[in-house]
Amino acid sequence: MQIKILFSSLLIFIFSSIASADEASLKKSLVPYFPNEKIEILKRIPFLQLYEITVGDQLFYVDEKAKYFFSGHLFDLKNEKNLTEERLQEIRSARKIDINSLPFEYSIQEIKGNGKRKLVIFSDPNCGYCKRLEKELVHINNVTIYTFLYPILKGSKEISKAIWCSDDKLESWNNFMLNGTTPTEKNCETPINTLLKIGKKHGFNSTPTIVFANGKIVPGMISAEMIEKKLNEPTT
């Protein structure tokens, strides 16, 4: 019995070592296809002889020889499950960053009520969902909101620069996002390129991207009710 257990353990170890080596070489072969992105996760899935690749908030599939690349959703028809979406939710739930590592001096800050709670948002001024989020934030109190300009859409850098260079950044931001009032163009030094690098480092590929005090990342627009719920979650 001990011999069988030892032999089985040895087989598992050998198989794991081979799998790790294969994954390492596969990952290396895929790097040239993502020159400006970081491949965060590469692991074999238990069907179709495919590997999943996670790049930021996106999930792809590739065969073991890196010959075929798949972008899309996998469905379990029998159990009526979207396997890709379920996996993405798992990945997003597990992702965290230390918000205190972010350069708050480069943010547009708004203190509401006692300002005790913290909310970080990477936002693009031309993003429709970002504007919808701003309308939800009107209903949130007792929070300090740190908005980082993250212009990833066409034409957004110019507006972001005008907002940052305004005499009152917060007023200019709110006027544009809530009322559609375009700020007057001004020239000044901006942290926009630095913020774009930080966002890319953390895999922020869409806006808005929300980060809570406990480090949890939520991509996309969510309701004021959901924001309140997440703001009240433990910070550890």
Checking DSSP bridges between strand 117-123 and strand 143-149, what pairing results, if any? Answer: parallel
Numbered ranges of CATH 3.40.30.10 in the chain: 99-231
CATH fold of 2-94 reads Nuclear Transport Factor 2; Chain: A, (3.10.450)
C-alpha 60/C-alpha 72 separation (Å) is: 7
C-alpha 165/C-alpha 103 separation (Å) is: 18
From residue 210, alpha-carbon distances to 29, 40, 216, 234 in Å are 33, 19, 8, 16
pLDDT at 179: 96
Q: Whose CA is closest to 214, among 56, 65, 95?
A: 95
Per-residue pLDDT in tens (0 to 9) along the chain, 236 residues:
443 333 333 223 323 333 444 778 888 888 888 877 778 778 888 878 889 988 877 888 988 888 888 888 889 898 888 988 888 878 777 778 899 999 999 999 999 999 999 999 999 999 999 999 999 999 999 999 999 999 999 999 999 999 999 999 999 999 999 999 999 988 899 999 999 999 988 878 889 999 999 999 988 899 999 999 999 988 76
User: DSSP characters for 153-181?
Assistant: STTHHHHHHHHHTSSSHHHHHHHHHHH--
Q: Whose CA is closest to 173, among 208, 141, 202, 220?
A: 208
Helix (H, G, I), strand (E, B) or coil at 49: coil
Numbered ranges of CATH 3.10.450.70 in the chain: 2-94
Local structure of residue 184 (DSSP, 8 states) = P
pLDDT at 236: 66
C-alpha 207/C-alpha 221 separation (Å) is: 8
The first and second tokens of residue 31, run together, are: 């790097």
C-alpha 133/C-alpha 115 separation (Å) is: 19
Q: Does domain 99-231 have CATH number 1.10.10.10?
A: no
How many other CB atoms sit within 10 Å of the CB of residue 157?
Answer: 19
Residue 207: half-sphere exposure toward Cβ, Cα within 13 Å: 24
CB neighbour burial string for 177-216, b if at least 16 within 10 angstroms, e if fewer: beeeeebeeeeeebebeebbebbbebbbebbbbbbbbebb
Bridge partners (DSSP) of residue 110 are: 145
C-alpha 75/C-alpha 120 separation (Å) is: 34
